Amino acid sequence: MKVIKILGTGCSNCSLTEKMVSEVVSENNIEAKVIKVTDIQDIVSYNVLSLPTIVINEEVVLTGKVPNKDDIKKLLNV
């Protein structure tokens, strides 16, 4: 199972990213757990400078933009 973390402080772009990732996971029957990380100290531990950020299995794969569904599918190898 993949663990997908959405790093963000709760802004609209972070919420939209979480929604899009959750939709792609659901629509494609991907075995994954989507976790929203809002704690600033947890976010800082990933050494990212812009949000939203997507982390898959503890690897930062996208930062600083809201991906579309095709972008997310590529990140998840769908």
Question: Can you give the pLDDT at residue 10?
Answer: 86
Q: Quote the CA–CA distance of 26 and 41 in Å, as a whole number.
A: 29
Catalytic hit among 7, 14, 32, 54: 14
Question: Can you give the pLDDT at residue 61?
Answer: 97
Question: Can you give the pLDDT at residue 29?
Answer: 95
58 catalytic residue (yes or no):
no
What mean pLDDT, rounded, does the chain reach?
Answer: 96
Element (H, E) at 62: strand 59-63
pLDDT digit string (tens) for 41-62? 999 999 999 999 999 999 999 9
Which CATH number is associated with domain 2-75?
3.40.30.10
DSSP secondary structure letter of residue 3: E
11 catalytic residue (yes or no):
yes
Catalytic hit among 11, 35, 40, 44: 11
| Claim: this prediction has a pTM higher than 0.75 | yes
